[in-house]
Amino acid sequence: MKKIILLSTLALLATPVTAAFAVPFCDSPRFDLKDSQGNNIWSEEELAAEAEQRLRSHGIDANQTRFWNGCIQTFVTDASGHTKMRFYDPNTYEEVPVN
C-alpha cells in the first residue's frame, strides 16, 4: 500500500514539470518601456499588429495575433482550410515548435 501511495505521489509531482516542457517560450519585446513624459513607447496591441503584418509578408496567413509567453501567438489557415494555432519567435519570425 505504501508503494502505491509513493508512486502516485511521484506521478502527481512529475506531471506539472513535464507539462511545462510543452509550452513555447521566447524573448518578447518589453512593453513597459516609457518615454521622457512617462508614456508607453509602444503597446502590445501595436506590436502584435506589426508582427502580424511581418508574418504575412513572409507568406504566413496570420490572424488574431498576440503575444503569449514571449512568443507571437497567431492563428494560421493552412492549404486545406483548417485554422491552427502557431507560435513564432518575435525576433526571427521562425515557427517555434510545441513539444
Query: In this structure, are residues 73 and 52 in contact, taking their beta carbons and an 8 Å threshold?
Result: no
Task: Grade residue 94 by pLDDT with cuts at 50, 70 and 90.
Answer: very high
Question: Does the reported pTM lie above 0.75?
Answer: no
Distances (CA, A) of 69 to 40, 48, 51: 20, 13, 15
Cell reading at 96 = 517555434
Domain-wise residue ranges, the chain: 25-99
CATH number of 25-99: 3.10.450
- pLDDT tens digits, 14-70: 555 444 455 677 776 776 677 788 777 778 888 899 999 999 999 999 999 999 888
pLDDT given at position 12: 52
How many helices (H) does the chain have, and how many strands (E)? 2, 3
- Given a cut of 60, is residue 73 above it in pLDDT? yes
Query: In this structure, are residues 51 and 87 in contact, taking their beta carbons and an 8 Å threshold?
Result: no
